[in-house]
Structure 1
Amino acid sequence: MTETNGYFQNDNEKELNIVNLPSLEAEAEKIIPKGGFGYIAGGSEDNWTLKANTEAFNHVQIVPHVLSDIEDPQTNTSIFGIDVKTPIMMTATAAQGLAHAKGEMDTAKGIAKAGALMEQSTYSSTSIADTMAAGNGAPQFFQLYMSKDWTFNESLLKEAKQAGAKAIVLTADATVDGYRESDIINDFQFPTPMANLTKFSEGDGEGKGIGEIYAAAAQKISPKDIQRIKDIAGLPVIVKGVQSPEDALLAIGAGADVIQVSNHGGRQLNGGPASFDVLSDVAKAVNHRVPIIFDSGVRRGSHVFKALASGADMVAMGRPVIYGLALGGADGVYSVVEHLNDEFKTIMQLAGTKTIEDVKHAKLLKK
């Protein structure tokens, strides 16, 4: 264990023997301090939308196909010219030092080893450059929590570009934080610094609650901000937090290069729809004009399959990766992605699909 300001962080480095991803949460809870675990695992209010995210995958069924004359399904794919070994990726998740002493740097190593994509957060425990370097050249996106202070925004965007980020993720659904009861009950304050905030006057995040962090965030985000970010960074912009066809079309019309269908893992608008339940309608509206990343509630290989068959091009997860990080560092992260990818390949085989394109054209039954 490593101690930082009285907060104990696991520093294990080991591959994990995983039966399934849902089981990792209880194991991680044993080693992540209570406040940190509540922040990572909790949703907003009574967690209704958080729970619905995973349950929603049961609203459709995969049709098995036999006599399909295939073996060894291939999971390699690409997104705007970036080749990856799997459509499974890591969504932006803040303050990973709460789970492990090496935080985002170990996540970057594990994701890179798995041949996958990673989004790193503005509110990371480690800096943009250090997280990028830890991935040893593997592709990463930088997620911007837009601040009221455009000097701050510009600094982060330019740093991300210089460090080698392949795209900027504009998180549009977090202008205020959801009502997260676990943080209130635990009186949670961030015990470890947020590296990207240390050079600015609002401080480093240490000793602050999530509400104070969000107080510096921009509450007014408009379509014109997409182009402003593109002009500064010179990179594609992914708009994250889209949950309706109308917003997807609005973002594309304003210059978005990718749509990320997400409800922030049930951490924002409780009572809103499960992310998967809106995916197919958003995909129909987008109609292949730009790629779609999907996240929220992904725990099984069948979930990955269903998301791709419903219009996603990439499928992202957050909490399971963080639990793997907590339990085994970089090797634990690698184990999580590999396990989910193995589950996914099994589903591909049984559904009679050889490639990711085959999966995208698979038909699902609605209950």
Structure 2
Amino acid sequence: MELVNEIHLLEVFKLTITNGYEQSDREEKLDIINLNELEAQAKAIIPQGGFGYISGGSEDEWTLRENTNAFEHAQIVPRALTDMDNPETDTTVFGLNLKTPIMMAPTAAQGLAHAKGEVDTAKGVAAAGALMAQSTYSSTSIADTAAAGNGAPQFFQLYMSKDWDFNNHLLDQAKAAGVKAIILTVDATIDGYREADLRNKFQFPIPMANLTEYSEGDGAGKGIAEIYAAAAQKISAADVKRIADYTDLPVIVKGIESPEDALFAIGAGAKGIYVSNHGGRQLNGGPASFDVLADVAKAVDHRVPIIFDSGVRRGSHVFKALASGADLVAMGRPVIYGLALGGAQGVQSVFEELNGELKIDMQLAGTKTIEDVKKAKLLHIHY
């Protein structure tokens, strides 16, 4: 009986083995009740080291938890007698026409969750009519990830290296692949103290395609600290201009948590501000991203679009972020869990679930369009 059960589990959880690491091969639509439930389901099939890397935050993970808790600091005011129905989630940002204001955050090493990694993520995001952002540390190449989107818009996120030949190589690849903007991450000049990775003695088992293309090293078998050792610890306003001049693409500065830094980035030439604390993976004890969003948006004052992430799990979170000044709302971990559980179709299912929740919130709040949501007033309660 035990042998039969073991064979049955292997059939249910289809796997590919790469360098001894078990990767999901599942390709199926998901029946989702809420995104929070996906974490436990994904934990059952992602190996311990990979799951710890994906799910973990820094130190005791207070900021990670606060990212989601902070949405309770604001409430949506229901509206009645609005004479409207069928809310519309279409939006235009950065000149791109999108079916939803929800986008894929740049998330590294998605091969830890699924054998097809970012290729399947790109397919699922495109099927949902959403915007995809791919990471420097992707498991699949910039070109392959872009091609999988089949013409759907994508951004490329740059972890700036100390080696400008490497930076330029990545930017050349991104531009050739047709990405629409460069996201420059500025809050990861050093790795946060991530205890799950230390406990698991985690090393990347899956090669990182962009590293493989550039050098003999491939990122496999390396620890987090070793990867970050090559990253630039000094990033300045001049780097924003240098990237913009080199690519002739909009540069969006990611990792902004204060009005001062937002204004400084815009002064340096940034065409977008990305409010994020890296999903609670960097400075533990720092504020939840939602708690700083409104102040940053007030300082930006619509001069450039604002992307927001960290802690998004419900349609109401998306609504509150848009009403607090965001133009796009990104999510990472729930999409990766959907990827592990259902491949491209699982990714699409995650977007459809969150977008469906958002439409319900829009109807009950009397907001027909995303522009209406942005004008909605929230009730702020201080406990």
TM norm. shorter chain > 0.5? yes
What letter is aligned with 1:217?
A
Quick one: distance in 2 between partners of 1:201 and 1:222?
A: 26
1:319 aligns with 2:333: yes
Alignment partner, residue 84 of structure 2: 70
Equivalences, count = 367
Alignment partner, residue 4 of structure 2: none
Secondary structure at the counterpart of residue 191 of structure 1: coil
Quick one: distance in 2 between partners of 1:78 and 1:95?
A: 29
1:160 positional shift: 0.2
Secondary structure at the counterpart of residue 199 of structure 1: helix
What letter is aligned with 1:219?
Q
Quick one: distance in 1 between partners of 2:48 and 2:229?
A: 24
- In the superposition, the TM-score normalised over structure 1's length comes to 0.99
1:233 positional shift: 1.1
Task: Compute the RMSD of aligned alpha carbons.
Answer: 0.6
Alignment partner, residue 93 of structure 2: 79
Quick one: distance in 2 between partners of 1:30 and 1:80?
A: 38
CA offsets per residue over residues 182-231 of structure 1, 9 Å max, x none? 00000000001000001334711100011100000000000110010011
Alignment partner, residue 51 of structure 2: 37
Secondary structure at the counterpart of residue 214 of structure 2: coil
Task: Please point out which of 356, 362, 367 is paired with 2:370.
Answer: 356
Alignment partner, residue 121 of structure 2: 107
- In the superposition, the TM-score normalised over structure 2's length comes to 0.95
Quick one: distance in 2 between partners of 1:320 and 1:71?
A: 29
Quick one: distance in 2 between partners of 1:80 and 1:270?
A: 31
Alignment partner, residue 55 of structure 1: 69
Quick one: distance in 2 between partners of 1:75 and 1:201?
A: 43
Quick one: distance in 2 between partners of 1:204 and 1:180?
A: 22
Alignment partner, residue 274 of structure 1: 288
Alignment partner, residue 6 of structure 1: 20
1:339 aligns with 2:374: no
1:170 positional shift: 0.1
What letter is aligned with 2:131?
L
Quick one: distance in 1 between partners of 2:101 and 2:279?
A: 19
Alignment partner, residue 189 of structure 1: 203
Report the CA distance shift for 1:288/1:202 in structure 2 as closer, same or farther (over 3 A).
Answer: farther
1:78-227 aligned at under 5 Å gives the runs 78-201=92-215, 203-227=217-241
1:282-293 aligned at under 5 Å gives the runs 282-293=296-307
Secondary structure at the counterpart of residue 36 of structure 2: helix
Flag structure 1 segments of 5+ consecutive residues without an equivalent: none
Quick one: distance in 2 between partners of 1:199 and 1:27?
A: 34
Alignment partner, residue 15 of structure 1: 29
Quick one: distance in 1 between partners of 2:371 and 2:77?
A: 16
1:106 positional shift: 0.0
Secondary structure at the counterpart of residue 143 of structure 1: strand
Identity, % of aligned pairs?
76
Secondary structure at the counterpart of residue 52 of structure 1: helix
Flag structure 2 segments of 5+ consecutive residues without an equivalent: 1-14
Alignment partner, residue 12 of structure 2: none
